[in-house]
């Protein structure tokens, strides 16, 4: 009886395995058959770049066809930055990643998929475009919010995502921190006190940046949304006349970096096209597409063309400033368990 | 060999058991075991520290409290819904019956966004409730509503067949013998549907405990107030802290197991009790 069971189990397992490998084999064949003529690459990105890459991929395909006479299709994937990084680590075959934080790309590097030194592989710390954190307020700015210190006043409702689960929210947090550091002359206790007050005014901590936008825009919660500049402009475009953008006195230079996933491109033989894909982001065409989608072009001359859109005079702290000391340090000091963000919500001040 | 073959009257035991074991291993047992193995590699003191962190404890509390409340609400309304659908005839009955399954089919994130939109203080229902001083979205009540939504089909669909198969002769007999309506319900009908109700309650509870997609949108996710345990797991993953996420997941799994175990025990107890 037992032996018979075992035999049956063996047969079933073999059949299943055969079925699975059979399918896989067929899929591989299809891909090879096409590869001779056209080429396909996958760009794993984060949420707010959807519109940007939609436009860019069309332009890049044109450029690549002209240059090499080869058809290229770019498959896009969007989601929360951390989630996307994890999917790449766990085997999602991305040729290039274009994420919200260097921290997420470093995680892929640590998993052995990206070679060290990716951050200097392309210009401007491998960030072809930058962004910053601004305030999106309701029309007429009824609460008269002009800078960070207005946000801690009583009765102001803030919407920002949770820095524990959202890459974008970490920029928000650090932008506020940069303000407090300047305002209180590096006094840790006072900075923490300010941050505590700020987060006490937060009504909803969504899990991602798009969720926070929905809460503010669709569900009408809060007086101010701390948002990526490009997200704020998209909301303005979608609901003309209902919102205003306020640029605070100081914010942070968000540099969403790009990188080639070395192990994947070597495996698939797509290094050349993947490199061209990221390099072309720095071309005048690529830079203008970034600007048109409300990302700040890293090329100064092109950025000048958009000076009516962006406040180029805005004082911007950077993650590599002494204050934060790069992503690894900032992540450990502020967002890992026991960091400053956890201390803000230590439980005693709640309920 | 020969003896055992005689024992099985129905043919095909070998192959069906083989399929069962293979699938169960691939889909349930091996992933569950990997959860335990993964957590055991982190050392007991770190494990304990992670799972008893103040914020994590608050997370379990919110999850358990809301899931329990939602399951109780589902049990009560599930019985009524099933009763109406089985016992009465009315127009659009089939349509209503079909609607019950919608929460199964709808992606939970869509449900979460729709519910939030409806129940936020600017939404259609939330606006009205706000005037009465009740805030639903971004509070624990909101979490419970999302959990009721995803759990209701479990209760209705487990009770419905039992009610349909019930012989009305017993009710008639009780009626003839002079039992009141309440008595008929509690002495005749309720004992019949109790096993199904317990199963439905357990399923709805376990489902609510693990629900993430719809709850995160309506919860507000404020630490210590409306932060559910599954969100803390996601937070850990977002920090690439696989071990920490694993540890909390393991505790949640233990909770779910204990609850289902308790319900099954209760079921067995009642079965014995009624048979004697």
pLDDT digits (tens, 9 = 90+) for B176-192: 998 888 898 888 889 88
Same domain for A154 and A101: no
Pick the residue from chain B with its C-alpha nearest to A4. Answer: B14
> How many A-B residue pairs are in contact by the CB < 8 A criterion?
107
Q: Indicate which of A111, A337, A342, A343 best probes the interface with B, i.e. most B CBs within 10 Å of its own CB.
A: A337
pLDDT band for position A23 (cuts 50, 70, 90): very low
- pLDDT at position B14: 87
Same domain for A281 and A250: no
- Taking CB atoms and an 8 Å limit, are A337 and B137 in contact across chains? no
When pLDDT is averaged across residues B249-256 and rounded to a whole number, the result is: 91
Same domain for A200 and A156: yes
Q: What is the pLDDT of residues A272-320, one digit of tens each?
A: 999 999 999 999 999 999 999 999 999 999 999 998 888 888 899 998 8
- pLDDT at position B242: 86
pLDDT at B6 over 70: no
| Chain A residues close to B223, C-beta within 8 Å | 205, 345, 347, 350
Count of the separate structural domains present in chain A: 2
Q: Indicate which of A5, A79, A112, A162 best probes the interface with B, i.e. most B CBs within 10 Å of its own CB.
A: A162
Is residue A291 in a domain?
yes
pLDDT at A128 over 90: yes
- Taking CB atoms and an 8 Å limit, are A211 and B217 in contact across chains? yes
| Chain B residues close to A347, C-beta within 8 Å | 54-55, 58, 223-224
Report the alpha-carbon distance of residue B31 to residue B268 in Å, rounded. 29
Of A34-38, A48-52, A343-347, B146-150, the range with the lowest mean pLDDT is A34-38
Same domain for A299 and A320: no
Same domain for A53 and A139: no
Same domain for A220 and A339: yes
- pLDDT at position A248: 93
Report the alpha-carbon distance of residue B112 to residue B215 in Å, rounded. 6
Whether A104 contacts A84, CB under 8 Å: yes
**Helix axes of A81-89 and A167-183: crossing angle, nearest 10 degrees:** 130
| Chain A residues close to B17, C-beta within 8 Å | 5, 8
**Dihedral-angle region of residue A186 (phi above 0 means left; psi in -120 to 50 means alpha; beta otherwise):** left
Is residue A28 in a domain?
no
- Taking CB atoms and an 8 Å limit, are A13 and B15 in contact across chains? no
Provide CB contacts within 8 A for A89, sequence distance 6+.
A107, A108, A111, A113
When pLDDT is averaged across residues A169-197 and rounded to a whole number, the result is: 93
Same domain for A216 and A82: no
Whether A85 contacts A260, CB under 8 Å: no
Query: Which of the pair, A2 or B90, is modelled with greater confidence?
Result: B90
Is residue A234 in a domain?
yes
Q: What is the CATH number of the domain that holds A121?
A: 3.40.190.10
Out of B55, B217, B241, whose CB is closest to A345?
Answer: B55
When pLDDT is averaged across residues A203-227 and rounded to a whole number, the result is: 89
Q: What is the pLDDT of residues A42-62, one digit of tens each?
A: 999 998 898 999 999 999 999
| Chain B residues close to A221, C-beta within 8 Å | 120-122, 138
Is residue A19 in a domain?
no
Closest Cα to residue A161, out of A147, A144, A173?
A173
Is 0.85 exceeded by the ipTM?
no
- pLDDT at position A210: 81
- The fraction of chain A above a pLDDT of 70, given in percent, is 88
Beta bridge partners of A98: A45, A258
Q: Is B17 exposed, middle or buried (0-12, 13-18, 19+ CB in 10 A)?
A: middle
For chain B, the three-class secondary structure string (H helix, E strand, C coil) is CHHHHHHCCCCCHHHHHHHHHHHHHHHHHHHHHHHHHHHHCCCHHHHHHHHCCHHHHHHHHHHHHHHHHHHHHHHHHHHHHHHHHHHCCCCCHHHHHHHCCHHHHCCHHHHHHHHHHHHCCCCHHHHHHHHCCCCCCCCHHHHHHHHHHHHHHHHHHHHHHHHHHCCHHHHHHHHHCCCCHHHHHHHHHHHHHHHHHHHHHHHHHHHHHHCCCCHHHHHCCCCCCCCCHHHHHHHHHHCCCHHHHHHHHHHHHHHHHHHHHHHHHHHHHHHHHHHC
Report the alpha-carbon distance of residue B71 to residue B122 in Å, rounded. 28
Range of the domain at A80: 37-127+256-304
Same domain for A323 and A292: no
Report the alpha-carbon distance of residue A283 to residue A162 in Å, rounded. 35
Same domain for A260 and A237: no
Q: How many CA atoms lie within 13 Å of B161's alpha carbon, on the beta-carbon side?
A: 7
pLDDT band for position A337 (cuts 50, 70, 90): confident
- Which pair of structure tokens corresponds to residue A330? 């900032």
Same domain for A210 and A71: no
Query: Which DSSP symbol is given to A295?
Result: P
- pLDDT at position B123: 86
Closest Cα to residue A79, out of A131, A114, A44?
A44
| Chain A residues close to B113, C-beta within 8 Å | 214
- pLDDT at position B157: 94
Alpha-carbon distance B26 to nearest alpha carbon in chain A (angstroms): 10
Q: How many CA atoms lie within 13 Å of A148's alpha carbon, on the beta-carbon side?
A: 24
Q: Which domains does chain B have, with CATH numbers?
A: 1-41 (no CATH), 43-275 (1.10.3720.10)
- Taking CB atoms and an 8 Å limit, are A203 and B17 in contact across chains? no
Report the alpha-carbon distance of residue A336 to residue A240 in Å, rounded. 39
- Taking CB atoms and an 8 Å limit, are A207 and B237 in contact across chains? no
Q: Indicate which of B223, B228, B247 best probes the interface with A, i.e. most A CBs within 10 Å of its own CB.
A: B223
- pLDDT at position A30: 43
- Taking CB atoms and an 8 Å limit, are A9 and B116 in contact across chains? no
- Which pair of structure tokens corresponds to residue B128? 């009205």
Pairing between β-strand A243-246 and β-strand A71-77 as defined by DSSP bridges? unpaired
Same domain for A160 and A142: yes
Same domain for A287 and A232: no
Report the alpha-carbon distance of residue A265 to residue B163 in Å, rounded. 61
Q: What is the pLDDT of residues A232-286, one digit of tens each?
A: 998 898 888 899 999 999 999 999 999 999 999 999 999 999 999 999 999 999 9
């Amino acid at each position: 009886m037992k032996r018979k069971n075992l035999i049956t189990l063996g047969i079933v397992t073999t059949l299943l395995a055969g079925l699975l490998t059979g399918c896989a084999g067929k899929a591989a064949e299809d891909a090879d058959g096409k590869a001779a003529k056209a080429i396909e690459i996958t760009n794993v990105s984060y949420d707010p770049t959807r519109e940007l890459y939609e436009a860019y991929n069309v332009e890049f395909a044109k450029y690549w066809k002209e240059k090499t006479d080869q058809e290229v299709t770019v498959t896009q994937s969007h989601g929360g930055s951390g989630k996307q990084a994890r999917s790449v680590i766990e085997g999602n075959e991305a040729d290039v990643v274009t994420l919200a934080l260097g921290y997420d790309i470093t995680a892929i590097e640590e998993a052995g998929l990206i070679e060290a030194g990716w951050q200097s592989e392309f210009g401007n710390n491998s960030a072809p475009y930058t962004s910053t954190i601004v305030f999106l307020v309701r029309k007429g700015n009824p609460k008269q919010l002009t800078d960070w210190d207005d946000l801690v006043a009583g009765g102001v409702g803030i919407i920002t995502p949770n820095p524990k689960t959202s890459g974008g929210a970490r920029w928000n947090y650090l932008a506020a921190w940069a303000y407090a550091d300047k305002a209180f002359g590096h006094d840790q206790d006072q900075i923490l006190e300010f941050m505590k007050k700020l987060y006490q005014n937060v009504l909803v901590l969504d899990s991602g940046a798009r969720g926070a936008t929905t809460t503010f825009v669709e569900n009408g919660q809060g007086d101010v949304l701390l948002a990526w500049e490009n997200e704020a402009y998209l909301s303005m475009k979608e609901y003309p006349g209902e919102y205003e953008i306020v640029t605070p006195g100081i914010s942070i230079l968000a540099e969403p970096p790009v990188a080639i996933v070395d192990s994947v491109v070597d495996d698939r033989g797509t290094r050349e096209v993947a490199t061209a894909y990221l390099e072309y982001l720095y071309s005048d065409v690529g830079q203008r597409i970034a600007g048109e989608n409300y990302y700040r072009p890293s090329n100064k001359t092109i950025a000048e063309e958009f000076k009516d859109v962006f406040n180029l005079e805005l004082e911007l702290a950077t993650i590599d400033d002494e204050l934060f000391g790069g992503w690894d340090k900032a992540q450990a000091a502020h967002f890992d368990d026991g960091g400053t963000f956890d201390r803000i919500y230590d439980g005693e001040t709640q309920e | 060999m020969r003896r055992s073959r005689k024992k099985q009257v129905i043919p095909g035991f070998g192959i069906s058991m083989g399929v069962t074991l293979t699938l169960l291993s691939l889909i349930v047992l091996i992933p569950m075991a990997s959860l335990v193995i993964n957590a055991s590699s982190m050392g007991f003191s770190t494990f304990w520290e992670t799972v008893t962190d103040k914020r994590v404890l608050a997370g379990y509390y919110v999850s358990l409290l809301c899931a329990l409340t939602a399951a109780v609400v589902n049990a009560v309304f599930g019985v009524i819904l099933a009763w109406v659908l089985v016992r009465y005839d009315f127009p659009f009955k089939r349509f209503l019956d079909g609607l019950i399954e919608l929460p199964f089919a709808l992606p939970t994130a869509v449900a979460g966004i729709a519910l939030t939109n409806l129940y936020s203080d600017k939404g259609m229902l939330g606006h009205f409730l706000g005037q009465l001083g009740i805030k639903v979205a971004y509070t624990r009540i909101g979490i419970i509503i999302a959990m009721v939504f995803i759990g209701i089909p479990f209760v209705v669909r487990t009770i419905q067949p039992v009610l349909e198969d019930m012989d009305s002769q017993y009710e008639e007999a009780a009626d003839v013998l002079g039992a009141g309506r309440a008595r008929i319900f509690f002495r005749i009908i309720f004992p019949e549907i109790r096993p199904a109700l317990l199963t439905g309650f357990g399923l709805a509870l376990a489902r609510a405990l693990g629900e993430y997609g719809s709850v995160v949108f309506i919860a507000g996710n404020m630490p210590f107030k409306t932060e559910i345990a599954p969100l803390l797991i996601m937070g850990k993953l977002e920090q690439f802290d696989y071990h920490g996420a694993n540890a909390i997941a393991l505790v949640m799994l233990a909770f779910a197991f204990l609850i289902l175990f308790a319900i099954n025990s209760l079921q067995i107890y009642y079965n014995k009790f009624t048979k004697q």
